[in-house]
Amino acid sequence: MDFSAQMNIQKELTCPLCLDLLTEPLSLNCGHSFCQACITANNKEPVFALGGEHQCPVCQSRYQPYNLRPNPQLANIVKKLREVNTSSHQWQGGNVCEHHGESRLIFCKEDGKAICKLCVLSLEHQGHQTFPIEEVVKECQEKLQETLKKLTDEEQEAEKLEANISEERATWKHRMHTERQKILKGFDEMRGALDREERKELQKLEEDEVNVLDNLAAAKDQVAQQRQYMSELISDLQHQIRESTLDTLQDVINVIRRSESWTWKKPKIVSTKLKSAFQAPDLSRILQEFKELTEVQSYWVDFMLNPVNALSGVVVSEDHRQVTAGNSFMFRNVYPCNFSAFDVLGCQNFSSGKYYWEVDVSRKTAWILGVYSDLNRSDLNRKRSSGFVFNPHVNYQTVYSRFRPDNGYWVVGLQNVSEYNAFEDSSTSDPKVLTLSMAVPPCRVGVFLDYEAGTVSFFNVTNHRSLIYKFSKCRFSQAAYPYFNPWNCPTPMTLCQPNS
């Protein structure tokens, strides 16, 4: 039975005089019924109509007292209705309207409280929106559960975020420590003349550290405060779910409103990128070169090695960081015509941005390394011949003929133990071989590619990070690859771990 039908039946079974369910009902010929006590009391009032007639309190039709007749059928219906109301709302035990003594089974939305069926008919609640109490309680319980789940999920998310912030804070402190060590090492190499610049750089770093850590600490505090509020709200919700009654229904609604108005605000997390990497001051040529290498090392990229040819003359280590010339290609009275079987590229290619890597060439007597740009794929894609012809009078210019920018190579190399060369373009078919002077032979060579600027730079990391050579105005029409060639030297060349 829906609520409107129930209300209509109860209205029909309500005494028009006392507005309560009929007790010992008496009915008139006009069809209206009254409690026996109510209509009897009404009949004791002075009667001015002729013949001792009375008027029906509802329709004013005239009747004689003997016209009042008991209505047992109506009395039985009223009895059953009382039993239904009592059994269907046992959970309200003792929840009786203080005005009418009836169970409060209806909720008035405007007044925000439970009322009885007779209160609905009163002037106080006339025109108000009313709902069965069961529906309101069910709706409140559903909202409580929904809100509890939402806040519980947000609390878990807040816990994770708080842990991430703590971890991020530790990571920042570690990064700051690493950067500080780099700065201290650089200034130690430059001695006391750079003390003032050292203090300046450290102060800048410390300011960044304070700002970043303070921001992270503030973000953590903000999350903690919101967690505290959410915990209190969750506690209130759980309390209302366990112990809510009709008397505290308004409190339940208030908690729901607080929960619905609550918005979880995530703090703004600072960028994980340092505002500025350390740059050594520009005081002299050495300091300038030191500054350049320090800057480019911030673009250190990690990748693996990959032989170019199916018939490769190289052996690559399991970790793909070390390459060695194969035994079948070394010192057997054979000499490769162009050493293309030793070609090795980095697995990663670059079509924009800045990139840096370092190669360990310790104890090697020959090597070539740098950058290769895939101009037409014809050079590195065709299959290499595995046959070599020994020629003690081989023309080395011919051997190096492919190593030139016009062919997509920007490389430097070592030949014959101590000859360091850079290979530039020339007006002939052979490259222009430039002899490079090395005060200290490099054990480690740094390579820096600036794709947009069109430059490839080489640094002697062993000798105060001095500049070996720089290619300018490079035309990278395609993606650029790191290039390696161990040449005919049995000693391996190794791709260094970043920041090692």
**DSSP string covering 17-47, please?**
TT-SB-SSEEE-TTS-EEEHHHHHHHHTS--
pLDDT score for 103: 86
Of 437, 456, 428, residue with least CA distance to 369:
456
Asked if 308 contacts 344 with a C-beta cutoff of 8 angstroms, the reply is yes
Residue with tokens 């023309």: 395
pLDDT greater at residue 239 or residue 431: 239
Which positions ≥6 away from 452 have C-beta within 8 Å? 352, 353
Residue 322 · residue 344 · CB < 8 Å: no
Angle formed by the axes of helices 133-189 and 195-243, to 10°?
A: 170
456 Cβ partners below 8 Å, 6+ apart? 370, 371, 410, 447, 448, 449, 450, 470, 471, 474
Confidence label for 279 from pLDDT (cuts 50, 70 and 90): low
Q: How far apart are CA 46 and CA 43, in angstroms?
A: 8
Q: How far is CA 147 from CA 113, 159, 232, in A?
A: 22, 18, 13
Residue with structure tokens 């001095």?
466
Q: Is 275 a residue whose pLDDT tops 50?
A: yes
Q: What secondary structure letter does DSSP report for 275?
A: S
Helix (H, G, I), strand (E, B) or coil at 70: strand
| 3-state SS assignment for residue 256 | helix
The whole-angstrom separation of Cα 140 and Cα 137 is 5
> Model pTM?
0.44
Lowest mean pLDDT among 215-224, 266-275, 397-406: 266-275
- Residue 493 CA to residue 16 CA, distance in Å, equals 107
User: Residue 398 has which token pair?
Assistant: 């011919």
pLDDT in tens, 147-195: 888 888 888 899 899 999 999 999 999 999 988 887 887 777 666 545 6
Mean pLDDT, the chain, rounded, equals 80
Report the distance separating Cα 209 and Cα 478, nearest Å: 40
Lowest-confidence segment of 23-27, 158-162, 287-291 by average pLDDT:
287-291
* Count helices and strands in the chain by DSSP H and E runs: 10, 22
Q: Which residues pair with 372 in a beta bridge?
A: 409, 481
pLDDT of 462 strictly over 90: no
* Cα 141 to Cα 177: distance, rounded to the nearest angstrom: 54
Residues 6+ apart with CB under 8 A from 253: 112, 140
Q: What is the pLDDT of residues 383-409, one digit of tens each?
A: 333 333 333 444 444 567 788 898 899
Cα 119 from Cα 47, distance rounded (Å): 32
Instruction: Please state, as a whole number, how many other Cβ atoms lie within 10 Å of the Cβ of residue 89.
Output: 15
